[in-house]
Each structure stands twice: as C-alpha cells, then as structure tokens.
Amino acid sequence: MRRDELVRWLDDYLRISAFKDPSQNGLQVEGDAEVRRVGVAVDSALTVFEKARAEGVNFLIVHHGLFWGQPLAVVGPHKRRLQALFAGGISLYAAHLPLDAHPEVGNNAVIAQRLGLLEPQPLPHPKYGDIGVVGRLPEARSLSEMEEALGELTGMQPLVHGGGGPQVERVGIVSGGGAGDVALAKALGCDLYITGEPSHAHYHEPFELGINVIYIGHYESETFGVKALAERLEAEFGLPWVFLDHPTGL
C-alpha cells in the first residue's frame, strides 16, 4: 500500500482535523513511499523505534508522537530518535486525542466494549471535547469484581480509591491522565470512574465526592486503541502489523 494513501485514509477515519490538541496529529515523519508492515505503539521512544526496525516495520502509528506544539532542536535523544526512523525508512504517524475519542477504535470505546457497557455515550470534556465514554453495566457489580475484571483486562493490578458505595453500575472512562476529571464523572452520575494515571493533587477528590475510582495505568489504558486500529487496517487493507510493547509501569 502507498504511504500517502494510508495517511489519507487514517486522517479521514480518525478525523484528525477535528482535534486541536498540541500533539501535531497525523504524519510526523515521512518514511518509505511503500508500506510493507505496520507497527503500533503507545510512545515515541528510541527503544520502540529500534524494535520497529528489527521487526521490519516501515509505518509506525503511535499514540504519543514526537512533537507537542513546540520546536525541538535536533540534538541528544531527539536526534537519535529521528536517526533511527530515517535509518529504517520508517514513517511516524501520531494520533493522540483522535485515538482517545474514536467511537470504534478509541481507547475508551474499546475499554467500554470489553467491559460490556450498555448505551455508551461520549463523556463531554470541557477542554478536549467528547474524548471519554459513559455507559452502564448490564447489572450492578461490586467494586472488587470491577477491580478483578480490569486487572484481567490489563494484566496489571489496578489501584482502587473506593470513595463511593460497594456496588457500581454507571461507569465513566477517560484513558491516560484523567485524574483531574473525577468531579466531572461524579457530575455525570457515575458511581465508578476509570482512568489511567493517579495524581497526588487529586487524591482526596474520590473520597470527598463519594465516587469510586480505579486507575489502570496511563500506559496500559492506551494500548487498546492502537491495537484496535491495527486490526482495522488489517481487515480493510490486509496490512500485516505488530504491537511494539514498551510498558512504563505508570
């Protein structure tokens, strides 16, 4: 498949132009004109780029790109990252908020689907728009059951801040760094809020607002979207792909 054809398809499918976050969504580094193998990853890191080259990847899709609205001198680690991409002929395509918000392959949509949430609706964020998901479980479940389910889903032990009741039914999800949105989830009637990374600044809010929060890890919460997007590309175009796992533990 031609690189530029794939970029156009991704831009349209992910609605890249609809998001104004500073992550410079879309093609960030231009590699080979012909796409042989797709790689997907959460972060833009030298280790990820080296793994991509070793796996024969020449089109890499990441959630966290190299550029975040500020010019960067091509020195030190940034230079080495770019050198690795150029040496492998690897295109780098970034999708930050577009891959959080997507209703089919977005991080939050996939987590909601895996949990079996019914009547999923966008979670309206005052700054970023409809990036999260709100839905309800088929029946009320205990907080400990949800902890276990999310542990099985991510392969990690979640962190639980049980500020609400022992049973939960209405669930809000914002992947990544959504610790500051506990009050928003409460205002939307959620009795469980799922996000990635905890924050000391917002530690007390679940207990003071009376809502349960489960943190499943920033990295782990954002592996779902890139994998789902790769599966979509394979189904649509027959492109082979590989997930380049480089967990941070955060």
> pLDDT for 143-184, tens place per residue?
999 999 999 999 999 999 999 999 999 999 999 999 999 999
Q: pTM of the full predicted structure?
A: 0.96
Q: Above 90 in pLDDT, residue 12?
A: yes
Q: Are 88 and 59 contacting, i.e. CB atoms less than 8 angstroms apart?
A: no
Confidence class of residue 25 from pLDDT cuts 50, 70 and 90? Answer: very high
Structure confidence at residue 20 (pLDDT): 83
Q: Which fold has domain 3-95?
A: 3.40.1390
Cβ pair 39, 17 in contact under 8 A: no
Q: Is 63 labelled as part of a ligand binding site?
A: yes
Q: Is residue 222 part of an annotated ligand binding site? A: yes
Average pLDDT, the chain: 96
125 is annotated as contributing to ligand binding:
no
- Residue-range domain boundaries for the chain: 3-95, 100-218
Q: Is the pLDDT of residue 69 over 90?
A: no
Kindly state the tokens that stand for 63: 């959630």
User: What are the pLDDT digits (tens) for 200-226?
Assistant: 999 999 999 999 999 999 999 999 999
**Mean pLDDT of all residues in 87-104:** 97
pLDDT value at residue 235:
97
What percentage of the chain reaches a pLDDT higher than 90?
A: 94
d(C-alpha 3, C-alpha 153), whole Å? 33
Place of tokens 């410079």: 24
The predicted pLDDT at position 127 comes to 85
pLDDT at 137 over 90: yes
Instruction: Write the CB contacts of 174 (distance below 8 Å, at least 6 apart in sequence).
Output: 100, 108, 123, 125, 131, 132, 181, 185, 193, 194, 195
Element (H, E) at 172: strand 167-174
DSSP string, 70-83: S---S-HHHHHHHH
The reply, when asked if residue 204 is annotated as ligand binding, is no
**Length, in residues, of the chain:** 250
For residue 100, which amino acid is it? D
Q: How confident is the model at residue 62 (pLDDT cuts 50, 70, 90)?
A: very high
Contacts of 96 by beta carbon, 8 Å cutoff, 6+ apart: 19, 21, 23, 25, 63, 64, 65
Cβ–Cβ < 8 Å for 127, 20: no
Q: Which of 189, 210, 224, 28 is nearest to 109 (CA)?
A: 224
Domain 100-218 belongs to what architecture?
3-Layer(aba) Sandwich (3.40)
Mean local confidence (pLDDT), 129-142: 95
**Residue 191 banded pLDDT, cuts 50, 70, 90:** very high
Fold matches, 3-95 and 100-218: yes
> Residue 126 pLDDT more than 90?
no
202 is in an annotated binding site: no
So what's the pLDDT on residue 160?
Answer: 98
